[in-house]
Structure 1
């Protein structure tokens, strides 16, 4: 019998190695799911009070967070509602617009067509998904006074009702920046992604309408114009690489400015300026630097 045993440890060694490989692969996939994709995050949001609190995330996550926020603000909802929505999407999809989930769950909020959330096509539209989430949230009595995880659970009815709480800090940072309350706190590297299709000033305008609504953009009078142009708000005139968005007040201005930075990789935005600050894509530190930018409009300069 002793002659039969030498082969056993070798089999177990191979099995153990295979198990380790599978565990490593599973861990990698989990990290990719949570982080929103491969590679290092290109975007960062920091606390306005400079206490060192920060959250790093990917361009894909940035675009979706900006859309969720813009839809909420356009509905006239408070920052708390945006924080709840962002924390929910962080838990449900890691802020990625995924085409799969538990049973027929889809999209940023893992909404189910079979449960009346909309058609699959509607749910996969981030602006629609955010809008229908807020629609349900507004029906929750005193949701602003509830714990975040309780407010989110009233909408989602998840099997893991306490899971939303762990995202509250990150969602709070994102909401403060993307609603415009915390100025110059969101930056991205702005590295271009994709093949360049659907970029440029016309694409920026279309994305503004998608997220903020046609009426809001028409009221603001956003125009495509020249880099470095001067004159009345929204009246840039020469080279055609700048989208000028007139704004009403500081928070509105920083909301649009941060939205533009969040969309920089997808829309190939080169520079954003507002309120005495300017962000430029591809800089080493991606910070907002002092500039002569006025406070009556946000100017978004595209690569082409």
Structure 2
């Protein structure tokens, strides 16, 4: 019986090699997409935070991540915790979820910090509330003796009990930049493009509700909408700038953190920018500077202070204008 010619064998071998190569490429692409999803690398960044010391440090992230980072920070400062605590929390969330409030994870892990209902972190509904999840993280962090003095990755590990205890360290530079901006200690360092998300415009009332949810009613109960006296609200498409403006008073932080009024003001201003896409915020003004929704290169530009008192008076409140 004649033996098969070598040509068919070569063709079969060639098809096998091509199939194996295609499989390897497919696995590589899938792996890349998984990494990008977990670390927040998919999509256009939309937001940027830069170093306040001109050392060239910068971190780009998405509007979704910005909202969650701002909430984590607000909860921390609301508890009177130092900037270091906020940086630890942010680095932990970057590692665990890419600052995304995800509905899945290892076993029953959920949310920004991948907390587990079965381990006593709360119910699934509670853990999926970013403010609650951040609060539970801080609740455990403050029980770690000397956490502000130890390496960030060690402090985070004491809370998380991760199988990868050194994983948090690589996120410390980015978390430190975010914490400095979102606590207000590094002024005018956070910008977002502000392109509205596919949600209904919140208006000043919606912004106020979001502020109260993150910072607490006691801190913001005097925030007022700047509706002209005697004027009735106009239809949304015709609303005046005054009717679309929320003025948030700025006072010094009398908690254990002892943050200045100026730091508090910049925290509120950066919070508004971080939430710009979700809440349809058009501009934010504080301390003689204004951010206006536009693109990822938008800057905090100097503006003239309103009325008498100059720049000093301009630090007394943050003005947030929503889109029509």
Shift of the alpha carbon at 1:142? 0.9
Matched residue count: 291
SS at match of 2:35: helix
Shift of the alpha carbon at 1:215? 1.6
Structure 1's unaligned 5+ residue stretches are 228-236
Describe the superposition over 1:180-219 as per-residue Cα deviations: whole angstroms up to 9, x where unpaired.
000000000001112325x11111011101100112112x
Verify: 1:245 aligned to 2:267, yes or no: no
Give me the TM-score of the superposition, normalised by structure 1. 0.92
Describe the superposition over 1:225-260 as per-residue Cα deviations: whole angstroms up to 9, x where unpaired.
249xxxxxxxxx983211110002100000000000
Verify: 1:298 aligned to 2:313, yes or no: no
Give me the TM-score of the superposition, normalised by structure 2. 0.86
Shift of the alpha carbon at 1:62? 0.2
**What is aligned with 1:174?**
178
**What is aligned with 2:40?**
35
Contact 2:73 2:86 in 1 (8 A): yes
| Residue number among 42, 59, 65 corresponding to 1:61 in the alignment | 65
Structure 2's unaligned 5+ residue stretches are 229-239, 252-260, 306-313
**What is aligned with 1:25?**
30
SS at match of 2:59: strand
| Residue number among 212, 232, 235 corresponding to 1:209 in the alignment | 212
**What is aligned with 1:224?**
225
CA RMSD of aligned residues (A): 1.6
| Residue number among 183, 193, 197 corresponding to 1:189 in the alignment | 193
**What is aligned with 1:200?**
203
After TM superposition, the runs of 4+ consecutive aligned structure 1 residues lying more than 4 A away are: none
Describe the superposition over 1:163-187 as per-residue Cα deviations: whole angstroms up to 9, x where unpaired.
0000000000000000000000000
1:249-288 pair list within 5 angstroms: 249-283=261-295, 285-288=297-300
| Distance across 2 between alignment mates of 1:33 and 1:88 | 13
| Residue number among 84, 88, 112 corresponding to 1:84 in the alignment | 88
